[in-house]
Amino acid sequence: MDVFLIEMSNNKLFSGCIMLLTNIGSKYLAIDLPSNLEKLFTEYSILRFFVIFSIFFMATRDVKISVLLGLLFVIIIKYFINEKSTFCLIRNEKNKEITQDEYKKAMDIINNYNSLNK
């Protein structure tokens, strides 16, 4: 039995399936958690980092690599993808401010449409 368990724990296919199952099923675990625990995770970013670290540790089984990947993940999410950051690389164009010139052009198009379709 021990040999089987050791083989399973070293099997990359088994580890991949467990990782997939963990990531898919983790959102359903939150259903049973009390609301004060959710408040802890939203208020304390260190708890979120430990969750990220644990996901990377399950995948790599290496503490140093997991910490580095966790820090890299946090930096990317907090600075390079966050629209409120000055370092954001991906901006949402829907929230782009409309200039006065763009407004006038749009109104001209609407007025032309309305005059042609009367």
Instruction: Name which residue leads in pLDDT, 7 or 33.
Output: 7
**Separation between Cα atoms, residue 68 and residue 13, nearest integer Å:** 24
Contact (CB, 8 A) for 92 and 105: no
Average pLDDT over every residue of 38-56: 83
**Separation between Cα atoms, residue 11 and residue 22, nearest integer Å:** 17
The pLDDT assigned to 93 comes to 64
**Separation between Cα atoms, residue 72 and residue 77, nearest integer Å:** 9
In the chain, where the domains are located = 33-116
**Separation between Cα atoms, residue 97 and residue 102, nearest integer Å:** 10
Average pLDDT over every residue of 2-31: 79
Instruction: Name which residue leads in pLDDT, 76 or 35.
Output: 76
Mean pLDDT of the chain: 82
